[in-house]
Amino acid sequence: MATVTQMKCACDNCLCVVSVADAVMKDDKAYCGEACANGHPAGQGCGHTGCTCDA
């Protein structure tokens, strides 16, 4: 059985792949950072290069 160590950020608009060990967990979903985990409350993006998930 394989162990998942990386997965796509749970934010629909986010392109990031996050390490499960480093992910921000919320509602049993893995996010690449607080902005994505909190639903971008101030319209800010995750800040990772090349990602435009600030909508």
Residue ranges of domains in the chain: 6-37
- pTM of the entire predicted model: 0.87
Q: How far apart are the first and last CA of the chain?
A: 37
CB atoms within 10 A of CB 14: 23
Residue-wise pLDDT tens digits, 10-43? 999 999 999 999 999 999 999 999 999 999 998 8
Q: Which amino acid makes up residue 29?
A: K
Q: What is the mean pLDDT of the chain?
A: 93
What is residue 1's predicted lDDT score, i.e. its pLDDT? 82
The residue among 3, 5, 55, 10 whose CA lies nearest residue 32 is 10
